[in-house]
A = this chain, B = another copy of it.
Amino acid sequence: LVNIMEKRNEARHTYLTIAPIDDDEENPAEWGKNFPLQYEGYRKTVDQVRTRFGGSEAIARTPSQVDPRSVVAQSKLEEDPRLKDLWAGYAFSRDFREERGHAHMLIDQIYTERQQAVQQPGTCIHCHASTYVPMKKLGEGDLQKGFEIINKMPYQEARTHVQHPVTCIDCHEPKTLSLRVTRPAFMEGIRAFKATLGEPNYDVNAKASRQEMRSYVCAQCHVEYYFKGPEKRLTYPWAKGIKADQILAYYDELGHKDWERKLSGAPVLKAQHPEFELWSQGVHARSGVACADCHMPYTRSGAMKISDHHIQSPLLNINRACLTCHKSTEKDMQERVAIIQNNHFEMRNLAMDAVLALIKDIERVKESASPERLMKARDYQRKAQFLLDFAEAENSSGFHAPQEAARIMLKAVDYSRQGQNSLHDH
């Protein structure tokens, strides 16, 4: 299949540009003069439509001085207040919403209440804006250097250097329009990961195939990350592998914690959007099916076939996103996904209850239990909570790799309940 996908893709042509674009052109409207169809799709990412577990709902709000947005996505904390409890003591317990289209990424980051809870570092901007040109400028032509500089800025300063949400130049080389990776953190992360597979010194822009690039450009951002050391360096924790338990082992070895949970006092971790990592464990990835195949399916426009730059939930576009490969009906595909996601949701709920039960138990005996026992229980909490969070934060509700997501949650349940038991005498 990979071969066929590649052949299909290669069969396509190079482009006639009306207005030449240079490597400092951030403005998508300029690119749009040459590629009006892609630009038109790109702009549609402002749309908000909800699916059962994905998409997003447009919730009206009254703009205020601190937050001028008149529409936001629904709050996940309100949908499931247990999350607030889980993240007590961390900025996420203040504000956490369903994610929406790319057009909103910059304002959503600027105005999330998480900014008010704590002073965020410039590192944040890496995935919420077009940073290629700003980083190059800050580094005086050296992308890597610009990256180091922006990481260390306070967020409020960093944000003055960027103009746009992710845009053409973040994914495309302007001459040939071919895909390229522009994020140093991903270059480093994928290098560390490939080394675990016996391929050292991996240079993604030189070595990746076109079909791989159709996922890697997304994996620049849709991945788990942490801020390393006092420089708050953006780092992808992949040096032991990209499966959830391998990432956990990495953090454990490093002794890294994101925060200390209020009350239970455990040194815990927060997982964020590991779409790339989970997808990698599924049968689609194995079969060479890329993010862009489902989230940017080919669409016809007159005589041309273009990639749909309206990146969105494939469930809003099943016909093109799925039926090209699956000779089935829309209804059937919808049901297939529903079965997977509903099963996932059932497990996620059981796992969340289990983690919270452990937290409650730790809180209760915090004063009375021996330090060794408490430490052990807190370690169980750390492990369980991270694994649950990994499955929960992943945005496909299990679809990208159903069995793997279930495996992770089963371990979360096991750790939680064992943690509870460890607090008792036997």
Give chain A's interface residues, CB within 8 Å of chain B: 1, 283, 286-287, 327-328, 332, 335-336, 339-340, 343-344, 346-347, 350-351, 354, 357, 361, 364, 398, 402-404, 406-407, 409-411, 413-414, 416-418, 420-421, 424, 426
Contacts of A417 in B (CB 8 A): 354, 413-414, 416-418, 420-421
- Closest B residue by C-beta to A404: B343
Chain B, Cβ-Cβ closest to A354: B414
Q: Are B403 and A350 in contact (CB under 8 A)?
A: no
CB pair B413 A336 closer than 8 Å: no
Chain B residue numbers with a CB within 8 Å of A406 are: 347, 403, 406-407, 410
Q: Report chain B residues within 8 Å CB of A413.
A: 410, 413-414, 417
Determine whether the beta carbon of A327 is less than 8 Å from that of B407.
Answer: no
Q: In the assembly, what is the distance between CA of A332 and CA of B402, in Å? A: 19
How far, in angstroms, from A336 to B340 measured CA to CA in the complex? 19
Using Cβ atoms and an 8 Å threshold, which residues of chain B touch A361? 426
- Complex Cα distance A311/B209, Å? 42
> Given known contacts A286-B336, A407-B347, is B420 in contact with A1 (CB within 8 Å)?
no
Smallest beta-carbon distance A99→chain B, Å:
24
* Copies per complex of this chain: 2
Residues from chain B with a CB closer than 8 A to the CB of A364 are: 426
- Docked complex Cα distance between A343 and B407 (Å): 7
8 nearest A-B pairs in the assembled complex, by CB-CB distance: A417-B417, A406-B406, A402-B403, A410-B410, A424-B424, A413-B414, A413-B413, A420-B421
Q: Which residues of B contact A404 (CB under 8 A)?
A: 343
Would A350 and B411 count as touching, CB distance under 8 A? yes
A420 CB contacts on chain B under 8 angstroms: 417, 420-421
- List 5 contacting pairs A-B, 8 Å CB cutoff, sorted by A: A287-B328, A354-B414, A402-B403, A403-B403, A417-B417
Which of A361, A404, A413, A418 has the most C-beta atoms of chain B within 10 angstroms of its own C-beta? A413
A368 to chain B, nearest CB (A): 12
Indicate if the CB atoms of B328 and A1 lie closer than 8 Å: yes
Q: Which residue of B lies closest to A402 (CB)?
A: B403
Nearest CB in chain B: distance from A217 CB, A? 26
Nearest chain-B residue to A410 (Cβ)? B410
Residues of B within 8 A of A409 (CB): 410
What residues on B are CB-neighbors of A283 within 8 Å? 336
| A414-B354, A414-B413, A417-B414 known; A346 vs B407 contact (CB < 8 Å) | yes
Chain B residues with Cβ below 8 Å from A411 are 350
> Which residues of the partner chain B approach A402 to less than 8 Å between Cβ atoms?
402-403
A230 to chain B, nearest CB (A): 38
Chain B residues within an 8 Å CB radius of A1: 327-328
Q: A340 to chain B: which residues have CB within 8 Å?
A: 403
Chain B nearest Cβ from A169, distance in angstroms: 37
- Please name all residues of chain B whose beta carbon is closer than 8 Å to the beta carbon of A335 when the two chains form the complex: 286
Q: CA of A339 to CA of B281 in the docked complex: distance in angstroms?
A: 9
A243 to B286 CA separation, bound complex (whole angstroms)? 29
Which one of A406, A416, A426 has the highest number of Cβ atoms from chain B below 10 Å of its Cβ?
Answer: A406
Which residue on chain B has the smallest CB distance to residue A423? B424
Whole-angstrom distance between the alpha carbons of A347 and B426 in the complex? 25
**Given the complex, which residues of B lie within 8 Å of A286, measured CB to CB?**
332, 335-336, 339
Distance between Cα atoms of A341 and B346 in the complex (Å) = 22
How distant is A419 from chain B, measured CB to nearest CB, in Å?
Answer: 9
